[in-house]
């Protein structure tokens, strides 16, 4: 069984508001929280990028492909739940599909 980390709640909270562990300074002291804060930042950036793209699609086209946008929103939510579950279990696993992007951020 993996060793349970002390700040699992703060790591899980990183997927909801990624900047809270950064502002509080917990991420600088704890590598586990920093890992999940980076994952939360990537998830947030993907969500913002998707929101911008979906707002740029013309109205008449949007409604014909709205099911695609719904599936992407669901996938983002599922990835967030996976990240929260990993953090609460004390695991340091990258998120599916977007997890490797977090290695590019340094803080």
> What percentage of residues in the chain have a pLDDT greater than 90?
48
Residue with tokens 């709640």: 9
Q: Whole-angstrom Cα distance, residue 54 to residue 40?
A: 21
Per-residue model confidence as pLDDT tens digits over 29-63: 888 999 999 999 999 999 999 999 988 988 888 88
Instruction: Give the three-class secondary structure for 55.
Output: helix
Residue 77 confidence (pLDDT): 96
Q: Supply 107's token pair.
A: 């803080």
Residue with tokens 């900047």: 19
């Amino acid at each position: 069984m993996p060793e349970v980390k002390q700040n699992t709640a703060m790591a899980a909270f990183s997927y909801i508001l990624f900047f809270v562990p950064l502002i509080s300074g917990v991420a600088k002291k704890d590598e586990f929280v920093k890992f999940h804060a980076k994952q939360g930042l990537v998830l947030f950036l993907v969500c913002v990028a998707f929101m911008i793209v979906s707002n740029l699609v013309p109205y008449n086209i949007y409604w014909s492909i709205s099911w695609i946008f719904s599936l992407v929103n669901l996938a983002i939510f599922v990835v967030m739940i996976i990240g929260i579950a990993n953090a609460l279990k004390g695991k340091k696993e990258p998120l599916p599909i977007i997890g490797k992007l977090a290695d590019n951020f340094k803080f």
